Structure 1
Amino acid sequence: MTVAGCLALAVEATAQTRQAAQTKPAKSAPEAKHKVAIQVSQNDKAVMNVALNNAQNVIEYYKSKGENVAVEIVAFGDGLHMLRADTSPVKERIAPMALENPNIAFMACGNTQARHSKAEGKPVTLVSEAKVIPSGVVRLMELQKQGYAYIRP
């Protein structure tokens, strides 16, 4: 790949990241009383399934109490594979969870996406439920500052 090609990929990924950063996730669900952020930073199907199970269990627990919970699964580093359309070992679980639970969000690190795109010489496509954020680590920091509980399976 030429330098110009790599530069074009980096510019495209940066533009997608900036656009996503300006767009906050729009959810039609009521305001959540409880909030949890779940980190996925390993390319490990078992870890990804545990993260999804944790999210589902938390949602079901609070639903049984008549309370809302906001869940953000933040994928970065090797964990980005969870949200990649071409390599996710759990993508068949993501769409139904997003449809059934309006207070769940799947966040993908833009820095990692750009790194993967550059390394592979092509844009990396994510599952449609994923929202690109500038930095997964920064997002987790922001969520904790907003009172989100932090879980790392």
Structure 2
Amino acid sequence: MKYLFLAAALALSTASGAWAEGKTHYVAVHVDENDPQVMNMALNNVANVTKHYESIGDTVMVEVVAYGPGLNMYIPGKSPVADRISAMSLEMENLSFAACGNTKAAMSKKAGHEIELMAEATVVPSGVVRLIELQEQGYAYVRP
């Protein structure tokens, strides 16, 4: 009986130790509209999700994926959220920004010159494909 109690106590301490380490969550946030409200809501979602998980001892990895008209989110001089992206990128190690290469190429062709993106954005071949890949890797999908 004494050994059963010790085994149960050891199992409980091991389980609570795992809880103390916290869990890592993964979230993909989709932006495909050139709408300041949508862009700000996406960044609010990022901030709120991060704050929530940190408050319970967990971590969260977040990737914001922009394509189509949403790519304006990453274009200096056009982005209504450029300052927020720069600040959040510096403050939040858990956050990354993906820009659709297909959209960037189409915008560049239409403009007649290469469209520059904010340094915080990483170009991926396709925004849609990136969202698929993230979901296949277990990321939760959020579209504000």
TM range (shorter): 0.7 to 0.9
TM-score (ref. length: structure 1): 0.78
TM-score (ref. length: structure 2): 0.83
What is residue 109 of structure 1 aligned with on the other side?
Answer: 100
Larger radius of gyration: 2
In the TM superposition, what is the alpha-carbon distance from 1:120 to its structure 2 partner? Answer: 0.2
What is residue 85 of structure 1 aligned with on the other side?
Answer: 76
Q: Verify: 1:58 aligned to 2:57, yes or no.
A: no
Q: What is the alpha-carbon distance in structure 2 between the residues aligned to residue 65 and residue 123 of structure 1?
A: 44
Query: Over residues 73-102 of structure 1, what are the superposed CA-to-partner deviations in whole Å (9 max), with x where a residue is unaligned?
Result: 000000000011131111010011011110
Q: What is the alpha-carbon distance in structure 2 between the residues aligned to residue 54 and residue 45 of structure 1?
A: 14
Aligned length: 123
- What amino acid is aligned across from residue 50 of structure 2 in structure 1? I
Which structure 1 segments of 5+ residues have no match?
Answer: 1-31
- What amino acid is aligned across from residue 113 of structure 1 in structure 2? K
Q: Verify: 1:42 aligned to 2:21, yes or no.
A: no
In the TM superposition, what is the alpha-carbon distance from 1:146 to its structure 2 partner? Answer: 0.6
Residue aligned with 1:98, SS: helix
Query: Equivalent residues in 2 for 1:1-150 (5 A)?
Result: 33-150=24-141
What is residue 7 of structure 2 aligned with on the other side?
Answer: none
Residue aligned with 2:62, SS: strand
Q: What is the alpha-carbon distance in structure 2 between the residues aligned to residue 113 and residue 87 of structure 1?
A: 14
Q: What is the alpha-carbon distance in structure 2 between the residues aligned to residue 60 and residue 126 of structure 1?
A: 27
Runs of 4 or more consecutive aligned structure 1 residues displaced over 3 Å after TM superposition: none
Which structure 2 segments of 5+ residues have no match?
Answer: 1-22
Q: What is the alpha-carbon distance in structure 1 between the residues aligned to residue 56 and residue 87 of structure 2?
A: 22
- What amino acid is aligned across from residue 148 of structure 1 in structure 2? Y
